[in-house]
Amino acid sequence: MLVRDDIVEYSLDTHHSDEQGKVVRKKIWKVTAILSIITTIEVLVGIYLPKGDNPGLQWDLIKWGYIILTAVKAGYIVLVFMHLGDERKNLRYMILVPYIIFILYLIFILRTEALYVNDAWEFLK
């Protein structure tokens, strides 16, 4: 029988104590709770604050709230699931800040173009 030595099953070599397991499970529940709370807030705002009931500035605040909550959730997912939260603060900032700037730039372009298209439609009516 041929035994391959290039395949290593790392999960068989991990030996965690019960205390480490409790810490890991606590972290998993914390991540689940935070992401669930943010998602629940987004869904409840979408259900109970429809656009027709909130014209003008209030609707803009709702939209910006969605954008901020989504960005916070995305950043948290990157920090936890991509293990960026375990890195040094400078490395975290070096990776996250360009993405934040890029996202803000995209939002600016989307808002500017949307206002331009809206003005063009209003002119054509």
Give the domain extent around 46: 19-86
pTM above 0.85, yes or no: no
Tell me, what's the pLDDT at 119?
87
81 and 97, same domain (yes or no): no
Q: What is the pLDDT of residue 38?
A: 93
Confidence of residue 8 (pLDDT cuts 50, 70, 90): low
Residue 72 inside a domain? The answer is yes
Write down the pLDDT at residue 26. 93
| 14 located within any domain | no
Q: Write down the pLDDT at residue 83.
A: 84
56/79 same-domain check: yes
**Is the four-CA dihedral 91, 92, 93, 97 of positive or negative sign?**
positive
Average pLDDT, the chain: 84
- Number of alpha carbons in the 13 Å side-chain half-sphere of residue 39: 9
- 2 located within any domain: no
